[in-house]
Amino acid sequence: MEQQFPLLPRHLAIIMDGNGRWAQARGLARVDGHRAGAEAVRTVVTECRRLGIPHLTLYAFSSENWNRPKAEVAALFGLLLDFLGVEVPRMEREDIRLMVLGDVDGLPLAQRTALRHGMSRTAHCRSMTLNLALNYGGRAEIVRAARRMAEAGIAPDGYTEERFADFLYTEGQPDPDLLVRTSGEQRLSNYLLYQCAYSEFYFTPVAWPDFGVEALHEALRVYAGRSRRFGKTQEQIDGR
């Protein structure tokens, strides 16, 4: 496995796009696409855990997704509840910690309760962290962090980039090394704006429901072949 992926991301972030188009292309309802998408979530979490990727973040529901038809929003939250019911006990067994990035208080009661339960049940888990971005928006996260920092009474000269990161939802976690977006779109859509400053981006035409172990491996192979310089020259990095 080490040979297959000489370099694994410490943090993989995914924008799971294309459930609706996947369903429409098969003459199915959009909800069927989301159901298939939830299966892809299980596959990808399992494989990331197996490979030893310590942080995985999935964009499951953006703050803009409330604008979708009511029935679709309800179906998405239903799938989330089903997912948590099955997966939280498994996550506990597999030592996977559940975290939520986003405004949990703005979620429906049943989902809020299940998420809080899942987070407390897995709070001790250390092998991997699964972040579900739910009711999440990147700009709102930055504004919230600034507000929380001011509320903490930090003086202006204490506003450093590192300190600021401690007030984001991802506090204590490394920035994403690799950001994957499925289904052909090539944009960030208000996702992890602060954290993705130096992330490698990988876009694939594969729709999220079809994003299985093979597609994940391909993304990881491409990532392993990238040269990350963080603004330095290759000579500086090589110590020449």
Active-site residue list: 17, 65
Our finding on whether 122 is near ligand FPP (CB under 6 A) is: no
Residues in a beta bridge with 129 = 55, 97
The 3-state DSSP class for residue 25 equals: helix
Q: Residue 57: what are its φ and ψ, rounded to 5°?
A: -120, 130
DSSP secondary structure letters along 177-237? SEEEE-TT----TTSSTTTTTT-EEEE-SS-GGG--HHHHHHHHHHHHT----TTS-HHHH
Q: Is 79 in the site for ligand FPP (CB under 6 A)?
A: yes
Which tokens in the block code for residue 79? 């799938």
By CB under 6 A, tell whether 54 contacts ligand FPP: no
Shortest Å distance, C-beta 65 to ligand FPP: 5
CA 120, CA 127: separation in Å to the nearest integer? 16
Q: Is 91 in the site for ligand FPP (CB under 6 A)?
A: no
Q: Tell me, what amino acid is at 112?
A: R
Residue 120 marked in a binding site: no
17 is known to lie in a ligand binding site:
yes
From candidates 11, 12, 17, 129, binder to ligand FPP by CB under 6 A: 17
Among 56, 114, 132, 215, binds ligand FPP (CB under 6 A): 132
Binding site for ligand FPP (CB under 6 A): 16-21, 34, 37-38, 41, 60, 65, 76, 79-80, 83, 132, 183, 208
Residues of each annotated binding site: 17-22, 30, 34, 62-64, 66, 68, 181, 187-189, 200
